[in-house]
Structure 1
Amino acid sequence: MHKNEFIRQVAKESGLPQTTVSQVLGAAVRVVARSLVAGQKVVWTGFGTFEMRRRSRRHGINPQTRERIMIDSTLTPGFTASSTFKGRVLSQLDDQSTVVADDDEAEELVPVEARA
């Protein structure tokens, strides 16, 4: 899902205008970015944690020359989903991943991928 579709769906679910949703999401992203730059974690209970992570120095390959190079360590923003959010997503996946077979006498569950 792209940003515009996300904004449309949040607006529909919340009853707020798309412009308001867009402004609020933009402000939220700016606040998260500023907090990370300041060295702070952003913990959103029930959703997850945004924090800066250090990627270690590592070997790489220059794609143009195919020469082995060393890539310096660097900081990058990261996100870890909370166990609450993971559980919510996984339980909804479980609910959608199986359906009762069309045959009234069949009691087995059929994976979604196997449905025609």
Structure 2
Amino acid sequence: MTKKEIVKTISEEIGMTQLKTKEIVQKTFNAIVETLVEEQRIELRNFGVFEVKKRAARKARNPRTGQRVDVPQKFVITFKPGKEMEEKVRELEQRLLGQPQAPAQAPAPPAEGNAQPAAAPAQSSDPPAA
């Protein structure tokens, strides 16, 4: 969806002209950007959190030549979705995939002094799911 489509949808829903709606949408986006620049963080309840984070300088490798290259530090914008957004996406996932996906969990480490090799996963006679 584009900004133009967002403006059209909102305009139709609230009965405001597209021109006025476009101005409000643009001012909202401008306020988000200005807040990120000034405060490095903006929290929009039930939506999510935008945050400016520093990525440290690092060494990388050019995949074509294999040559090592220095990647300078830089600032990036991150987004962490709010609970409401995550729930809506989970509902979408359930509708599209049929079953909810259980959150992945790492296996618990063995108790000290009781280290035993991990058991092989149980074999199922069911055919693999498509």
TM normalised by structure 1 equals 0.67
- In the alignment, structure 1 residue 13 sits paired with structure 2 residue 16: no
**Could you tell me which residue of structure 2 aligns to residue 33 of structure 1?**
33
Structure with more of its chain in strand, by fraction: 1
Pick closer, same or farther for the CA change 1:76–1:5 going to 2, 3 Å. same
Shift in Å at residue 95 of structure 1? 3.5
Measure, in 1, the Cα distance between the counterparts of 2:82 and 2:88. Answer: 10
Cα distance, 1:96 vs structure 2: 5.1
Identity of aligned residues (%): 21
Structure 2 alignment gaps of length 5 or more: 99-130
Q: Which residue of structure 2 aligns with residue 109 of structure 1?
A: none
- After the TM superposition, which of the residue ranges 79-88 and 1-10 deviates more from structure 2? 1-10
Kindly provide the CA deviation profile for residues 22-54 of structure 1, in whole angstroms up to 9, marking residues without a partner as x.
111211111111111112421111000111011
- Matched residue, 2:56: 56
The equivalent residue for 1:111 is none
1:78 is aligned to 78
* Partner SS state of residue 50, structure 1: strand
In the superposition, the TM-score normalised over structure 2's length comes to 0.61
- Cα distance per residue 1:81-107 (max 9 Å; x no partner): 101211023214434555xxxxxxxxx
Q: CA deviation at 1:69?
A: 1.4
1:53-84 deviation line (CA, Å, top 9, x unaligned): 11222234569977431111111222111012
- The residue number in structure 1 matching 2:91 is 91
For the aligned residue pairs, the C-alpha RMSD in angstroms reads 2.6
Amino acid at match of 2:24: V
Equivalent residue letter for 2:21:
V
Distance 1:40 1:69, change over 3 A: closer
Unpaired runs of at least 5, structure 1: 99-116
Q: Distance in 1 between matches of 2:64 and 2:18?
A: 44
Alpha-carbon separation, structure 2, partners of 1:81 and 1:22? 24
Distance, in Å, in 2 between the alignment partners of 1:50 and 1:70 is 28
The residue that corresponds to 2:3 in the other structure is: 3
